A and B are shown apart, each in its own frame.
Chain A
């Protein structure tokens, strides 16, 4: 079974190389990309099954013993993230293939789209599987470098403008991360996460706090946590629809994943908990207030994306098993739902030529299927029962109530308010774009939506509904993953079966 662990990284990288070689054979290129992501998804599911049944899988790359070489660890959290991300990337790839086939040339992803997309996938999976800090950094850099290319596809003026901000902010966060790595290494003499557990605990408390906050700062920028989130709603909406969708679903969640690891494995003392709770509250409220003020669907959705990062942070900052389980469930839910909404927004743009709410109207009548594809995930995002968004929020709020204390109750209130305001924001889109009388379509409108695009979105909507139906088992996995994270020993024991050196 151990041979499976590196596959989610190696297979997409190999696929990227192949698709780059086959740049003049578009049909073959597409087939390879799809096959690669199907394999990744299958491997991810196997890894999750194995991690759930028998415990974490560990691979020592090149047979180098643990603290010397690179370690890849697939524990329940990593495997769960892998499954969610692989499923979403596959659907988005199908969507973009549908878009590319419909109008080759105009919006069609240029030939480098497929290799870059696969490299992005490899970066994401590498970040999830990585068992040491520097490899995590490399994973981040792989996915960021690919995302720079995807965000500036075509090099139009607007994308260059948005891309500049994005690239510079991401580079800065990478520099901070690298500085933190340098300091951690200087303080402890290792970067292996499992070995750091013991060595970080032995450090003096003030030094721990400095390292802790440097890591949180770096991951906070990547996860778009409130005071560090202004880059996101500005840059994401300018990219092509599938690219925005996959960015919204995955990139910020990699940052959240890194925050979860930092808070549980490296610094479980919860000394940053109060700061994180306050930041989570501000992220939720400021984000959703920004969303309410927007008049463009993509920008509005980007602000809700920022806002809902606050929920995950809330769960992590509670430092209880229930909070952590809620946060993990919420990450999986949010990856799926937010991506679906951006894909639906892309379909709206394709159908009417615009995502500006002032120019839209009557889509529920002219494109009823599209209405349904937007309506279901929107309800789930807002947290309307019985959808997965409701269950995730309920779990988090319950954990908040159980934790007690002024701050936790404030967050429960803030979370409820954010949920209501999300409902308001999505209702605004629904009323203006779908419900009122039809508007004249723009010049770029096309009557027909490519079948593959629609089916890819349908698949994601079904996946989102599946999360609702399978919420019980999924919550079980999340709870077990949270338990393992809180105990820390399963991770360490898996990497060092004979005890840490």
Chain B
């Protein structure tokens, strides 16, 4: 098996798809992106070595052996990716347990800015109309019951605000 164009193209497609998925907000999609990216990198590592038959002394003549080092590195990389995938899955699950979704949330300062912008109509940032979220809006808690809720409009980032108030 020689490093032909198809394999190189596969590496490119895996990288592209992985990066696209990384830009998503949902952690499960990010995770799939990381897995695809990881597979792309592994394939790339494999392409870096000489191709040939199994590198076993006495079975294959020295000239026809494949390079075993990239294969050893790919094995290590696969193990590492597997472990971290499991960890990320656990984090996505924990996030779902705690908040009912696994979206990557804004940091406290971004949230502050968004809240400030919501009160001041003149400086609304572009990304406010992000549309409906994939999770169900939580029920049983109304604006009247929450004295700290200055802005009566629920808005798309409601879950973040609840987390701040809590």
Residue-wise interface mask of A (221-264) relative to B, using a CB-CB cutoff of 8 A (1 in contact, 0 not): 00000000000001000000000000000000000000000000
B84 A164 Cβ-Cβ under 8 A: no
CB-nearest residue of chain A relative to B77?
A178
Which one of A51-59, A153-161, A311-319, A389-397 contacts B? A153-161
* Known interface pairs A175-B41, A186-B47; A157-B99 also in contact (CB < 8 Å): yes
B91 A185 Cβ-Cβ under 8 A: no
B77 A164 Cβ-Cβ under 8 A: no
| Bound-state Cα–Cα, A157 to B99, Å | 8
Asked whether any CB of chain B lies closer than 8 Å to the CB of A163, the reply is yes
Asked whether any CB of chain B lies closer than 8 Å to the CB of A181, the reply is yes
B30 A168 Cβ-Cβ under 8 A: yes
A157's partner among B41, B45, B107, B163 (CB-CB below 8 A) is: B163
B77 A163 Cβ-Cβ under 8 A: no
Asked whether any CB of chain B lies closer than 8 Å to the CB of A409, the reply is no
| Bound-state Cα–Cα, A186 to B69, Å | 11
* Known interface pairs A157-B99, A181-B73, A185-B49; A168-B104 also in contact (CB < 8 Å): yes
Give the contact-size bracket for chain B. 20 to 34
| Bound-state Cα–Cα, A234 to B104, Å | 13
Residue-wise interface mask of B (14-45) relative to A, using a CB-CB cutoff of 8 A (1 in contact, 0 not): 00000000100001001000100110010011
Asked whether any CB of chain B lies closer than 8 Å to the CB of A141, the reply is yes
A190-243 CB contacts (< 8 Å) to partner B: 191, 234
B84 A171 Cβ-Cβ under 8 A: yes
Question: Which residues of B lie under 8 Å from residue A165 when comparing CB positions?
Answer: 104, 107
A167 B48 Cβ-Cβ under 8 A: no
A183's partner among B30, B48, B73, B80 (CB-CB below 8 A) is: B48
| Bound-state Cα–Cα, A435 to B48, Å | 61
Asked whether any CB of chain B lies closer than 8 Å to the CB of A35, the reply is no
* Known interface pairs A178-B45, A186-B47; A164-B163 also in contact (CB < 8 Å): no
* Known interface pairs A141-B80, A157-B99, A185-B70; A167-B44 also in contact (CB < 8 Å): no
Question: Which residues of A lie under 8 Å from residue B105 when comparing CB positions?
Answer: 161
B91-115 CB contacts (< 8 Å) to partner A: 91, 94-95, 98-99, 104-105, 107
Residue-wise interface mask of B (32-75) relative to A, using a CB-CB cutoff of 8 A (1 in contact, 0 not): 00100110010011011100000000000000000001100100
**Can you name 5 extra interface pairs (CB under 8 A) apart from A157-B98, A172-B34, A178-B77?**
A168-B22, A175-B38, A182-B41, A183-B44, A186-B48
What 4 A-B pairs are tightest by C-beta distance, nearest first?
A: A186-B48, A182-B45, A234-B107, A182-B44
What residues of chain A have their CB less than 8 Å away from a CB belonging to chain B?
134, 138, 141, 145, 148-149, 152, 155, 157, 160-165, 167-168, 171-172, 174-175, 178-179, 181-183, 185-186, 191, 234
What residues of chain B have their CB less than 8 Å away from a CB belonging to chain A?
22, 27, 30, 34, 37-38, 41, 44-45, 47-49, 69-70, 73, 76-77, 80, 83-84, 87-88, 91, 94-95, 98-99, 104-105, 107, 163
